Amino acid sequence: MRRSILTVGVIGAVIVGAAGLAFGSGDVSSPQTIHAVFAGTESKVLDTSPSGPSLGDTQVVSGRILEGGKAVGRAAFDCTVHRGFVVCEGAGKVSGGQVAFQGISWNNTNRHVWAITGGTQTYDNARGSIVIQDVSARRSKVTINVIP
């Protein structure tokens, strides 16, 4: 079986979960830095023709957002292969609402930086960036930098 498009694409999901813990019930009103872990629970690679890594292949990932080893939310994202990189987008859900994110990742790195593109409820005005460091095929450390 060929290698995943991203080491797990664990990335996106973490964003949402961590954000919910830090923000509580009010809108984001000041810069926040949140640390969390994304644990991928499901992943599927859709291999388009020709067989093997090629333009249009897609990876779909879902999993849990963890803080202190405890599940605090869920997230999912998908990534599509382009020439030398993948374009990813996703969303996550925690008690305070939802967060959306997207970005470009390179196939040859375990570090990814994506943009927070919006949210709902507590995260209505959320924007900023997410830095993802893949630790294994199913886990990533995530640092979320949210600005109002």
Show me where the domains of the chain are located: 11-147
Q: Pick the residue with more confidence: 34 or 25? A: 34
- Gap between the Cα atoms of 133 and 10, Å rounded: 9
Please tell us whether the domain made up of 11-147 is placed in CATH 3.90.1570.10. Answer: no
Average of pLDDT values for 76-86?
Answer: 93
Cis bond before residue 148 (omega within 30° of 0): no
22 in helix, strand or coil?
A: helix
Instruction: Give the contacts of 18 (CB within 8 A, at least 6 positions apart).
Output: 34, 35, 36, 65, 67, 72, 142, 144
Report pLDDT for 6. Answer: 53
pLDDT digits (tens, 9 = 90+) for 26-78: 567 788 888 899 999 999 999 999 998 899 999 999 999 999 899 999 999 99
With pLDDT > 90 as the criterion, what percentage of the chain qualifies? 51
Average pLDDT, the chain: 83
